[in-house]
Amino acid sequence: MSDIREAPGGTRRGRPPLTDAHRREQRLDISRQAVRLFRARGVAATSGEEIARAAGVSERTLWRLFRSKESCVEPLLSLALDAFREVLRSWPPDRDLAEHLAAEYAFDPGAPPEDVEAVLAVVRMTRDEPALRAVWLVLHERAEDTFAEVIGARLALPPGSLEVRARAAVVNAALRVATDDLARAAGEEGLTALTEQKGRIGEVMRLLAAAGTESGENHT
């Protein structure tokens, strides 16, 4: 809304802020190091100082970029949510939501394979590490706002309305269960069977066929 970046007349002075892209890359790099250490030694046995050292940054800036050591996994986890968000945004008007998701979403972030493997590893770790689970759930819920925008636009309802929020939360829940299941399967069988997993994801997505799209007529 009122995001005034530049005063109307004057020229910029001083060092320009880092670009958002740079910031994201910086956080992502730290995230990679943190996840590597978490996988190797466990979360409890990994200190913030080690993460900072591995990322080639001071501990002070680490705490500036992440509010807790567990939240260092956020950038990697966000890759999965971003990919889903893109598919949701590409939802064509003439198609059923569940059909669209079941057909188009296959958990394929446009990211290097080592990042994808790291994401799946973190999702698996959230089962045993309560703090990581909390991060995962909070991230998921934050993504609901974006889901609500898409769904709200489709239903011609405000994104903050009760119905839209409920539908966004339902989509979010299905995504979480599907992703957890995929990560578990990838951990047990390796991700060779990823194509088979696409079927299971589609299965979950199809479950919200009724709740996600049609039947906008049964509310007052």
> Of 2, 3, 15, 192, which lies in the binding site for DNA, with binding defined by CB under 7 A?
15
169 in contact with a second copy (CB under 8 A): yes
Residue 219 in tokens: 């509310």
Closest CA to 65 of 129, 18, 3, 117: 18
- Least separation in angstroms between residue 145's CB and a second copy is 13
**Amino acid letter, residue 116:** V
> Of 25, 41, 58, 89, which lies in the binding site for DNA, with binding defined by CB under 7 A?
58
Q: Which does 111 bind (CB under 5 to 8 A by kind): a second copy, DNA, none?
A: none
Distances (CA, A) of 94 to 58, 187, 219: 52, 37, 22
- Which of the residues 99 through 158 are near a second copy (CB under 8 A)? 130, 133-135, 137-138, 141
90 in contact with DNA (CB under 7 A): no
178 in contact with a second copy (CB under 8 A): yes
Residue 40 in tokens: 């190797």
196 in contact with a second copy (CB under 8 A): no
> Of 32, 37, 70, 176, which lies in the binding site for DNA, with binding defined by CB under 7 A?
70
Phi-psi region of 157 (alpha: psi -120 to 50; beta: other; left: phi over 0): beta
Q: Is 2 exposed, middle or buried (0-12, 13-18, 19+ CB in 10 A)?
A: exposed
Region binding DNA by CB under 7 A among candidate stretches 34-42, 64-72, 139-147, 176-184: 64-72
Dihedral sign computed on CA atoms, order 149, 101, 166, 72: negative
Spatial distance between the Cα atoms of 100 and 98, rounded to a whole number of angstroms: 5
Region binding DNA by CB under 7 A among candidate stretches 63-71, 109-117, 133-141, 144-152: 63-71
Closer CB to DNA, residue 64 or residue 89? 64
Closest CA to 55 of 74, 36, 37, 29: 29
Query: What are the backbone dihedrals phi and psi of residue 19, each rounded to the nearest 5 degrees, phi first?
Result: -70, 155
Closest CA to 120 of 84, 80, 93: 80
Region binding DNA by CB under 7 A among candidate stretches 6-14, 117-125, 178-186, 195-203: 6-14
Binding site for DNA (CB under 7 A): 11-18, 26, 46-49, 57-61, 63-64, 67-70
Residues that bind a second copy (CB under 8 A): 130, 133-135, 137-138, 141, 162-163, 165-167, 169-170, 172-174, 176-178, 181, 199-200, 203-204, 206-211, 215, 218-220
